[in-house]
Structure 1
């Protein structure tokens, strides 16, 4: 029997796990860099900062997070295409995007021997999207604090600073 047609689940899981670890590492490094850039910009924000500048910061942060996810899916798609599991890079990327987002309704499939990679790609998407969501919650918490400070106005902020028990 042909070696390429004989499934080897241990090999599939091992290869998938290595790529999963690389993707999670890239995500962690990317999240740290994006969060650091956001925090460096945010320390200059106060209640007098114009809305358009704050919204531009949010848009840049969301764009960076999106680019990070597109990079991570490219990390998955490149070896799938390079090994010839899916014959075109576009179709490989499409397959990975569907798996990564857990959409999974496409008509492109991996060969029998490598089909366990699909669920492992989905696991990486679940991890990274969850991590990204937590960062967005943290960022939006900062926006909420700023909005509350703006609503309070200068008099109430001054009295809050004078009375630490408030």
Structure 2
């Protein structure tokens, strides 16, 4: 464990990069699952689908995306505790959340020998949040299309009533 208490910067980068790859892989699998789930639910949406049901579908998908990010940050925090880089899971998780979201509050810091891990965590957060945003744009595009179709139907009904 002596090598881990004062690692060579290359070891630090390798361990950080390997963890980042695992996190991004988990994110990809999670995003794909959430997206498939949304698409399976969306094919049942019609003009008669109540708005509350559409809102619940949106809320469920946002909740799943948030849960995915919380799981990913736990994947980062676990090795920090296991390797005794940060003494407690709570502190490690807080540090990871700060880095992953690029908040950078510095309430919890890594030892100087491990300080390269923080920016690698931030890189993974930027990448995964960007990916999540693209999925949300896709979902909101589907909602926008449904809203337009609903508005056009209502407009058609109003025009038919006026004739």
Both structures adopt the same fold (TM-score exceeding 0.5): yes
How far did residue 113 of structure 1 move?
1.1
Aligned to 1:75: 75
Any conservation in 1 of the 2:4–2:83 contact (CA below 8 Å)? no
Tell me the residue number matched to 1:56: 56
C-alpha distance in structure 2 between counterparts of 1:15 and 1:153, whole Å: 56
- Residue number in structure 2 paired with 1:98: 98
User: Over aligned residues, Cα RMSD in angstroms?
Assistant: 1.7
Does the CA-based 8 Å contact 1:7-1:112 persist in structure 2?
no
- Note closer, same or farther for the CA distance 1:146–1:113 as it changes in structure 2 (3 Å cut): same
Give the Cα–Cα distance (whole angstroms) in 2 for the partners of residues 79 and 95 of structure 1. 12
CA contact (8 A) 1:24 1:124 kept: yes
How far does the alpha carbon of each residue in 1:27-85 deviate from its partner, in whole angstroms, 9 at most, with x for none? 00000000000000000001110001000000000000000000000000001011111
Q: 2:137 maps to what in 1? A: 137
Mean Cα displacement is larger for which, 5-14 or 37-46? 5-14
Contact 1:95 1:109 in 2 (8 A): yes
Unaligned runs of 5+ in 2: 157-163
Q: Which residue of 1 aligns with 2:160?
A: none
2:30 is aligned to 30
Structure 1 position 3, deviation (Å): 5.4
**Segment of structure 1 superposing worse, 130-139 or 147-156:** 147-156
For residue 122 of structure 2, give the secondary structure of its aligned residue in structure 1.
helix
TM-superposed deviation, 1:117: 0.3
8 Å Cα contact 1:34/1:64 also seen in 2: yes
Query: Which segments of 5 or more consecutive residues in structure 1 lack a partner in the other structure?
Result: 157-166
- Alpha-carbon distance in 1 for matches of 2:81, 2:145: 46
- Residues 33 and 90 of structure 1: CA distance in aligned 2, closer, same or farther (over 3 Å): same
Q: Is the 8 A contact 1:5 1:112 kept in 2?
A: no
In the TM superposition, what is the alpha-carbon distance from 1:106 to its structure 2 partner? 2.5
Given that residues 73 and 93 in structure 1 are in contact (C-alpha distance below 8 angstroms), is that contact kept between their aligned partners in structure 2?
A: yes
> Could you tell me how far apart the structure 2 residues matched to 1:79 and 1:110 are?
13
